[in-house]
Amino acid sequence: MSSELPTPGPIVILTGAGISKESGLDTFRDKDGIWARHSLEEVATPEGFARDPAKVHAFYNARRRQLAEPDLAPNPGHLALAKLEAEWPHPVLVVTQNIDNLHERAGTTHLLHMHGELTKVRCTACDAVLEWPGDLEVSTACPACARVGTLRPHIVWFGEIPLHMEEIDAALSACSLFLSIGTSGNVYPAAGFVHMVRSLGRAHSVELNLEPSQGASLFAETIHGPASQVVPAYVE
């Protein structure tokens, strides 16, 4: 991206499932999406986990295995954001709703996973957050406190508070450019970031998405097309 932007300065980039679609990971709300095959209430709420932890573990184990498949890789959208961070003379923060690790594999370092990470688990007894590359079972003991049945995916489910909110709010308040990439704008608080940016009035806001999102009219500029094409074209 050139420095000819009207307001060169810090950039905050919100990403959603759409940026990883062309790497082979499904979105949630598209017609072939994850919520078309799985009940959100059963696999993505604390109540669902309490009712049937084995079902929830099986859902996330399958997605963890998919992430480890040898041909799964970042696409040009992820790579373009890493290049932007490396070259832009001001801070660039990627705030992702995605629990995959494709941004870090592309080289992004200034990254916050607001909905958690597929490759981590958390102990509900001792609060340890642990790297977890393989399957997780109800009977697995916590490596930190040795209790059994206390580990859960390190994922933010509906009704739970997203991670890093103070840092995200501070970055949104200070940015000159806000990009929203590959998200339907259905899930709060992420869907409200554009409201916050606009109410402060100091940042340009751009949506890059396959099609207009729920909140498309709130953005100052919208660019529609596949992330692997529109993201490199916009930032390079």
* Residue list, annotated binding site for substrate: 60, 63
* Contact between 48 and 121 (Cβ < 8 Å): no
Which residue numbers belong to the known binding site for Zn(2+)? 123, 126, 142, 145
Which residue numbers belong to the known binding site? 16-35, 60, 63, 97-100, 123, 126, 142, 145, 182-184, 209-211, 227
* Contact between 67 and 100 (Cβ < 8 Å): yes
* Contact between 85 and 69 (Cβ < 8 Å): no
Name which of 10 and 162 has its Cβ closer to ligand BJW: 162
Q: Which of 223, 173, 212, 190 is nearest to 16 (CA)?
A: 190
**Interface with ligand BJW includes 215 (CB under 6 A)?**
no
Please report, as residue ranges, which positions from 8 to 37 form the binding site for ligand BJW (by CB under 6 A): 16-18, 21-22, 27-30, 33
Task: Tell me which residue has tokens 């390079």.
Answer: 236
Candidate ranges 127-135, 170-178, 181-189, 199-207; the one touching ligand BJW (CB under 6 A): 181-189
> How far are the Cα atoms of 11, 46, 57, 84, 184 from residue 114, in angstroms, in the given order?
17, 17, 20, 21, 16
Per-residue tokens: 59: 């859902």
Site size with ligand BJW, rule: CB under 6 A: 36
Name which of 3 and 199 has its Cβ closer to ligand BJW: 199
**Interface with ligand BJW includes 166 (CB under 6 A)?**
no
End-to-end CA distance of the chain: give it in Å, rounded: 5
Task: Tell me which residue has tokens 């040009």.
Answer: 76
* Contact between 103 and 81 (Cβ < 8 Å): yes
Name which of 26 and 110 has its Cβ closer to ligand BJW: 26
Told to judge if 195 belongs to the known catalytic residues of this protein, a careful annotator would answer no
Instruction: Given the residues 78, 103, 115, 154, select the one marked as catalytic.
Output: 115
List residues with catalytic annotation: 115
List of residues contacting ligand BJW (CB under 6 A): 16-18, 21-22, 27-30, 33, 44, 97, 99, 115, 155-162, 165, 182-184, 186-189, 209-211, 213, 226-227
